[in-house]
Structure 1
Amino acid sequence: MKGYQLTLYTQQNRRHQGRMLADWIVGVAMEMGLRGATLVSGIEGFGHTGQLHSRHFFEMADQPMLILLALTEAECDALLKRLEEEGVTLFYVRVPAEFGLLGAPLDT
């Protein structure tokens, strides 16, 4: 299947509708019936402002978070539109990708 790998970037301390933004986005992906999303916590990074975001022993609130999705063009457009309608501000990367499933589907 052809489509996109969409990577959304945020931090652990960002909230939307009372939830951690990254968790909220994964929930929206499930609600929309998308085939999957992976939430990845980063160790360190910096954004467009040059501010360093990192995971510290005592304070992990500023920890970088990435949400990775493999989507068709229509799914990608619909998700980005939904996030925009919700007023979510975040950086994303949309890269053309080929994706599929090898072997038999898992039972879990």
Structure 2
Amino acid sequence: MEQICLRLYAREGQQHQRHLLSDWLLDSARQLGVAGGTVLRASAGFGRHGLQEDSFFELGGELPVIIELVLSQAQAEAMLALCAEQGLHLFYTRMSVTSGITV
């Protein structure tokens, strides 16, 4: 099945409406009818907030997380529109993917 892989990038401790942003995004995707999503925690990364990496001394929620959703084009557009409506300034990538279930 041809779908979209939407990846939203955030910081692990980032909050929105008194919830972790990653949890809020997963809940919002579920409400849009998305079948599933995954949050991946990075061990290191750099971007507009500089270099962050996991070490013995924890960074207190500053490591990058990726919220990955495989969804329809319409759901991807709705998710990005919701993020814009909520004033979230998140970097994202959107890729066409083929998905299925192994037999």
TM-score (norm 2): 0.89
**Structure-to-structure mapping, 1:61-76, within 5 angstroms:** 61-76=61-76
Q: Root-mean-square deviation (CA), in Å?
A: 1.4
SS in 1 for 2:102: coil
Distance in 2 (CA, whole Å) between partners of 1:30 and 1:57 is 35
| Cα separation, 2, equivalents of 1:27 and 1:55 | 27
Match for 1:55: what amino acid?
A: D
Q: Which amino acid counterpart does residue 99 of structure 1 have in structure 2? A: S
Residue ranges of structure 2 left out of the alignment (5+ in a row) = none
Take 1:86 and 1:69, find their aligned partners in 2: how far apart are those partners? 19
Return the alpha-carbon distance in structure 1 between the equivalents of residues 65 and 25 of structure 2. Answer: 11
Q: Distance in 2 between matches of 1:77 and 1:102?
A: 28
Match of 1:61, SS state, is: coil
**C-alpha offsets along residues 43-78 of structure 1, whole Å, 9 cap, x if unaligned?**
1100135x0122343434101110111111111111
> Structure 1: any 5+ residue segments left out of the alignment?
104-108
Give the alignment's TM-score, normalised by structure 1: 0.85
